[in-house]
Amino acid sequence: MDETGGGDMTVKASLSGRLRNMKLSKTCALHPLFEAVVNAVQAVDSVHEDMDSARIEVRIVRDQQTALPFDEPRRRSADKGNITGFIVIDNGEGFHDENMESFKTLDSYGSCNFGSDLL
């Protein structure tokens, strides 16, 4: 029991259930990518005073991507394979205990002010 006389009041959440119940329009499809890029900007900003040494790389992952012959006329994006995901790589601070807890906590306020005016 805690000091209020009640038991443990830890709230648990099902991430898959939470995602399933989330209502997003098609225009919100890139929000996870935006969030990953903002996280990368925060990570490099925390350790690089000189932004010339900061690096953020965004890779587009496609299914069935084939070699692109550059001597052909401009190819349609449909010819390149469907986009199946993105990979965001940075040379920032990485995960430590504090930001890992924020990452693992749904709807945390760990970095709520950073980049909020960009949304």
Q: What is the pLDDT of residues 60-104, one digit of tens each?
A: 998 875 555 665 666 555 567 788 899 999 999 888 888 778 777
Whole-prediction pTM:
0.60
Residues 6+ apart with CB under 8 A from 99: 93, 110
pLDDT of residue 67: 58
Contact present, 88 and 33 (Cβ < 8 Å): yes
Quick check: 27 pLDDT over 60? yes
Distance CA 104, CA 38 (A): 17
**Token pair listed for 118:** 């960009």
3-class DSSP state of 51: helix
pLDDT of residue 3: 59
The label of the residue with tokens 């209020």 reads 4
Residue type, 114: F
Closest by CA to 87, choosing from 117, 52, 53, 62, is 62
Quick check: 117 pLDDT over 60? no
Contact present, 23 and 55 (Cβ < 8 Å): no
